[in-house]
Amino acid sequence: MSTENEGTAVPPAPSAPPVPVDAPASAPGAAPEGHAPTAGAQGPDAGSAPHTSDSPYGPGAPHPEGAPTTQMPSVPAGQQPGAPTAAEAGWPPPAPTMPAYAGGGGAAGVWGASYQQPAPKPKNGRGGLVAAILVAALVAGGVGGGIGYQLAKNTDSSGSTTVSAATTGGDVKHDNGSVASVAARALPSTVTIEAESTNGQGGTGTGFVFDKQGHIITNNHVVADAVDGGKLTATFPNGKKYDAEIIGHAQGYDVAVIKLKNAPSDLKPLALGDSDKISVGDSSIAIGAPFGLSNTVTSGIISAKHRPVASSDGSSGSKSSYMSALQTDASINPGNSGGPLLDAEGAVIGINSAIQSSGSGSGLGGAGGQAGSIGLGFAIPINQAKYVAQQLISTGKPVYAKIGASVSLDETTSGAKITDQGASGSAAVEAGGPADKAGLKPGDVITKLDDTVIDSGPTLIGEIWTHKPGDQVTITYQRGGATHTTTVTLGSRAGDN
C-alpha cells in the first residue's frame, strides 16, 4: 500500500486519560474529589530504505502507481506507472502513485506527516509527505493527551454543591510518565523547520536535537526544497531562530541531518529509545507543527510494527522511499514530518514521516483542501534512523543494504518476484552479487526474509533496509512450484543514485 508524505497524494499500498492530580487540601467543609480528566515502473533493487515529511507531505491520498520493479541493491531504481519491471539503474525508483508529503496537493489516502508551510508562500507540492503502505493505506490519527486535574467540591449551608478547579494549570504537578511531563521535557529540544528553494517554494516540517554540536534529525522530504542552494531555518519553542545547513540526506530512507549555524551551547539532545523493544499498545507521543501550528503535542498508542510503507511527494519525477514503519494513532498531519515520536518515558522511538488520509482534495482542514489525520500515522524506527544519521554526519551519504536483484513493484500479496530483466536492459540478478552467490534466479518469488513474510517487492526492499551491509539473512522463495531457502550475505550501495 502506498501513502503520502504529509501533503502530496500517493497511491494505496500493500491518551492516556489525565492522571488524577493530587489536589491540595480543600477548603473547610469541602470534600476533594479527584477527576482524571493519538504502471509499470522499474523495480527497486532490493536493499534500500523507507519514506514520510515533517512538513508533512502535501495534501492528497496514497494511490499506488503501476507495478514498478527495480534492482534490489541499496536504493531502488526509479519507477514509472505502467512498467512491469524495474532495474537497479536509477535508485531510488520513482514513487508509485503514493501518498504525497504534507504541503502538496490533496489526494485520497495520504501517508505521512505533512510538511506544509502555512505562510502564503508559493508551494511546489512538497508541503506534505505521503507514504504508501504496501500492506494497507493508513493515515496518522490520534487524540492529544489530556492533563488530569483535581476538582474540589464545596458544599454550602443550604446543601447546594459547587465545583471549582483545585489549582491553576501552571501549578499542577504532573507524574513523570504523563503526557504533560514528557512534552515539557521534549518540547525545548524540538524545532520547526522552514525550507525554501531558490524560487521561493517551500514548506514547514519538524526536527529534533540529535547532539550538542547542533545536528538536527528530520525527514529528507522536509528539507528537499533547500537542497540546491535554498534557505533553511530552525525555530525553537522559545522563539529563537537559527539558519541551518544540510549535512546529508537519504532519499531512500527519508532521513536527513541538518546543522544549526552558530548553535547555542546549551542544546539538550533528546534521549533515543530502542524501537526494537516497543510493543503494540505502548503509549506514543508525537510533537510537530501540523499545518504550521508549531509545538503541537498529540498522543496515542503504537498500533502496529513492521508496516511496509512506500512513500513519495507525489510529484511526477519523485522517487520512492521505503520503510518498515511503526504505526501510531497519535494525530499526525502535514507539518509533523521529521518530528519525534516518543514513548511514555520521553525517549525517541521514531521519526514521524507519513500518514494515510481519506478523501481527495477535501482533507481534514488543511489549507488548499489538504487531507489530514484519520488515525493512521507511520514513523521511521529510531534504531534505523540513528544508524542513517550517523552515516550522514560521518560521510554525508547514506549506505543501503542490498541483495543485488531487481524485483517487481507490482501490488501483490504473493511475494517479491525477481524480474526477467533489470533497469535499462541490465541483468535482473547482478553477476557475482549477493543474490547470484545465493543461487537466486529471474522468476524466483521471494516469500520470506528470516521470519518476516514478504508479500511484494516494496515490502522486501523496506525489510532489507532495516539491515546493514554484511548481515546474513535467510530467504525463502518459490521456484517451479517448490519452496526453497538460501542464505544471503547482504551487499552495500552508497548514495541515492
Residues noted as catalytic: 221, 254, 337
User: HEC profile for 315-378?
Assistant: CCCCECEEEEEEEECCCCCCCCECCEEECCCCCEEEEEEEECCCCCCCCCCCHHHCCCCCCCEE
Element (H, E) at 260: strand 255-260
Written as nine digits, the cell of 47 is 536493499
Give Dmax over CA atoms of the chain in angstroms. Answer: 91
DSSP letter assigned to residue 276: G
In which residue are the cell numbers 503541537 written? 296
The answer to whether the CB of 1 falls within 8 A of the CB of 137 is yes
Written as nine digits, the cell of 479 is 521456484
Question: Three-class SS of residue 462?
Answer: helix
Q: What angle do CA 352, 391, 249 make, to 5 degrees?
A: 55
CA distances from 301 to 89, 113, 121, 378, 430 (A): 39, 16, 35, 12, 42
- Residue 170: other Cβ atoms inside 10 A: 5
How far is 433 from 222, CA to CA, in rounded Å? 34
How far is 129 from 56, CA to CA, in rounded Å? 5
Q: What share of the chain is helix, strand, coil (3-state, %, to 5)?
A: 10, 35, 55
DSSP letter assigned to residue 253: T
